Amino acid sequence: MIGWISYHAVVSSGGAPELSVRIIRQQPAPGGGYEVSFTVENKGTRTAAAVPVKGDVMDGDSVIETQEITFDYVPALSAATGALLFKTDPSTHQLDIRASGYTDP
């Protein structure tokens, strides 16, 4: 255990979070609207806190609908899952989901 931590101490100094969002599935939500499940991955060696994930439903260049959700933490080298609920069906439009920032914990 000490060896493992020491290895990371040497390797990970000065790292930053590297966030990426991957859509898992889209489906109609039971309570109406459309649910888009996604996972936020942090490939960096630092944990990101208060990560807002923003989803834009686009029709061409114009944004029809924006939903946002905030993750308390996305730990280093880990992933967190969540879902956004849209009123419009995102599968018939372009959908842009991304992590739009983070704070250091």
Partner 1 sequence: MQNAGAGPAGSRDNSGRSKDTATPAKFLVGIGRGVGGALLFALPMLMTMEMWAFGVTMDRWRLVLLLLLALPLLIGISHRIGFEETFSWKVAGRDAMIAYGIGIVTSAVILSLFKLLMGDMPAQEITGKIAVQAIPASIGALLGRSQFGSGKDDADDDPKAGYGSELFMMAVGALFLNLNMAPTEEMILISYKMTPWHALATILISITLMHAFVYAVSFKGGHELSSNTPWWHALVRFTLPGYVIALVISLYSLWSFERLDGASFTPAIMAMIVLAFPGAIGACLRGSSCEETSWLTPHRSNQTAARSVAARIGSNG
Residues that bind partner 1 (CB under 8 A): 1-2, 4-6, 8-9, 12-13, 47, 49, 72-73, 75-81, 105
CB of 82 to partner 1, least distance (A): 10
In whole angstroms, give the CA distance from residue 101 to residue 88: 25
Based on CB atoms, which residue is closest to partner 1, 48 or 95? 48
Kindly provide the b/e burial profile for residues 58-91, where b requires at least 16 CB atoms within 10 angstroms of the residue's own CB: eeeeeeebebeeebeebebeeebebbbebeeebe
Based on CB atoms, which residue is closest to partner 1, 15 or 52? 15
CB of 101 to partner 1, least distance (A): 16
Based on CB atoms, which residue is closest to partner 1, 58 or 80? 80
CB of 47 to partner 1, least distance (A): 4
Fill in the DSSP letter of residue 91. Answer: G
Pair of tokens at residue 74: 């996305």
Pair of tokens at residue 41: 């991955």
Based on CB atoms, which residue is closest to partner 1, 9 or 25? 9
**Mode of pairing for the β-strands spanning 62-74 and 34-42:** unpaired
CB of 79 to partner 1, least distance (A): 6
